[in-house]
């Protein structure tokens, strides 16, 4: 008997831990409205402690109201309604203090089809967080639309001019206009790629296709490409440690990370752009630093947010680059930080794990 009691306490403790680990608020009640359980997130969102809630009536401790002031629990009516009803869609509700939460419910029946409601499981999400997410998405759409307008206007203007007055232009004039159209088309492609990357990062659908990647070789290739495009070779300095361990990474995404960080250093910094690759305890660290003004410590937490552009006098791009870089690094199981470089500029440092493919995939 003692063993059975112990097993019961262990199971109850495990269930409590499980619901407390959920990111959303969770309230469980019976069909009469008596609260059976409340998780930690629900306590945080509502301000009602577990001790105060459990065993009490829903309308007493969680008096949710809709926008018309009606009592949500009475509208839910678990004992009434269709016997086939099992879910109640999420909707915005308010607590007496004015706080907005998004609330949904699931009705558990016994038997499952057409039986009496045994319990009601209620999930809560922060309305403020939802509103911030919606504003962020609206800002993203607005920013991308604004950035797309300029190159598309240019493309439309040049193509319309060429079609209408082709014979009036010299070959050299045509070449210049077509080069401009080509560059603007590349800009549109980059913007669309950024938008897709943001979508995949936010939805957790970013795929990492791992292979052995030679980080110093990728850095040298990046520098060579920038020099070929017109940057001075002496502007870049590569420091690579000896006997670097094997890294299993997504080569395209690593090129994107390095390219974005170097572009950021060239655009916003001054002096030499240094790329340093070295072994650390659990992986390989890559630092990209410049000799510019640097980033104020108070601004460091904002750097990897969407739409951060740093110095407004040098504004350019969508402000999504560093947000994407952070998402790509974290998709590899790595971390990224920003700090003041020894030469006074900004230093971005990301670390990715090393080891066998299985180890890298599990990190």
Nearest to 113 by CA among 79, 81, 85: 85
**Exposed/middle/buried for residue 298 (C-beta within 10 Å: 0-12, 13-18, 19+):** exposed
- Indicate the range of 122-126, 275-279, 353-357 predicted with least confidence: 353-357
Q: Read off the pLDDT band of 96 (50, 70, 90).
A: confident
pLDDT at 27: 94
pLDDT at 328: 93
**pLDDT higher than threshold 60 for residue 314:** no
Sketch the domain layout of the chain as residue ranges.
2-127, 131-203, 211-362
Residue-wise pLDDT for 131-146, tens only, equals 666 776 777 777 677 7
Q: How far apart are CA 48 and CA 60, in angstroms?
A: 11
pLDDT at 38: 93
Where in 52-177 does DSSP place strands (E)? 87-94, 100-110, 116-126
Q: Read off the pLDDT band of 13 (50, 70, 90).
A: very low
pLDDT at 251: 93
pLDDT at 360: 47
* 274 Cβ contact list (under 8 Å, min separation 6): 236, 237, 238, 239, 287, 288, 289, 290
CATH for 131-203, among 1.20.1260.10, 3.40.50.300, 1.10.287.130, 1.10.10.10?
Answer: 1.10.287.130
Q: Read off the pLDDT band of 311 (50, 70, 90).
A: low
Average pLDDT of the residues in 65-74: 90
pLDDT at 310: 60
CATH assignment of 211-362?
Answer: 3.30.565.10
pLDDT at 288: 96
Q: What is the mean pLDDT of the chain?
A: 84
Nearest to 350 by CA among 270, 271, 249, 269: 249
Residue-wise pLDDT for 336-348, tens only, equals 999 988 878 899 9
pLDDT at 56: 94
Determine how β-strand 236-240 pairs with β-strand 273-279: parallel
Q: Which architecture does CATH list for 2-127?
A: 2-Layer Sandwich (3.30)
pLDDT at 7: 47
Which carries the bigger pLDDT value, residue 205 or residue 167? Answer: 167
Average pLDDT of the residues in 9-38: 75
**pLDDT higher than threshold 90 for residue 10:** no
Average pLDDT of the residues in 285-308: 85
**pLDDT higher than threshold 70 for residue 363:** no
Both structure tokens of 178:
């077509």
Nearest to 27 by CA among 68, 67, 69, 56: 56
């Amino acid at each position: 008997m003692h063993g059975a009691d112990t097993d019961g306490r262990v199971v109850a403790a495990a269930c409590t831990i499980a619901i407390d680990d959920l990111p959303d608020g969770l309230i469980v009640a019976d069909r009469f409205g008596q609260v059976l359980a409340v998780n930690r997130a629900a306590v945080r969102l509502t301000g009602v402690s577990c001790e105060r809630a459990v065993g009490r009536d829903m309308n007493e401790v969680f008096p949710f109201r809709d926008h018309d002031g009606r009592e949500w629990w009475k509208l839910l009516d678990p004992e009434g309604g269709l016997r086939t009803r099992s879910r109640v869609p999420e909707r915005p509700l308010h607590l007496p203090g004015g706080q907005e939460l998004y609330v949904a419910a699931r009705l558990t029946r016994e038997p499952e089809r057409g039986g009496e409601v045994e319990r009601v499981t209620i999930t809560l999400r922060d309305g403020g967080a939802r509103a911030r997410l919606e504003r962020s998405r609206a800002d993203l759409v607005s920013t991308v639309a604004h950035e797309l307008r300029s190159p598309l206007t240019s493309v439309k203007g040049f193509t319309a001019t060429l079609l209408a007055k082709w014979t009036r232009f010299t070959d050299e004039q045509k070449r210049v206009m077509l080069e401009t159209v080509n560059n603007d088309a590349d800009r549109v492609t980059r913007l669309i790629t950024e938008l897709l990357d943001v979508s995949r990062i936010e939805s957790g659908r970013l795929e990492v296709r791992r292979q052995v990647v030679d980080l110093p070789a990728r850095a040298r290739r990046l520098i060579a490409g920038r020099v070929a495009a017109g940057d001075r070779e002496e502007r870049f300095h590569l420091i690579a440690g000896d006997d670097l361990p094997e890294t299993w990474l997504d080569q395209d995404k690593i090129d994107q990370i390095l390219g974005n960080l170097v572009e950021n250093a060239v655009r916003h910094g001054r002096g030499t752009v240094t790329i340093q690759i070295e072994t650390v305890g659990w992986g390989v660290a890559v630092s990209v630093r410049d000799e510019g003004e640097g980033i104020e410590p108070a601004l460091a937490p904002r750097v990897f947010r969407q739409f951060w552009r740093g110095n407004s006098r040098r504004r350019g791009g969508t402000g999504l680059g560093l947000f994407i870089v952070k998402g790509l690094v974290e998709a590899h199981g790595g971390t990224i930080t920003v700090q003041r470089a020894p030469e006074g500029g900004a230093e971005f440092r990301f670390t990715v794990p090393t080891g066998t493919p299985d180890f890298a995939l599990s990190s």
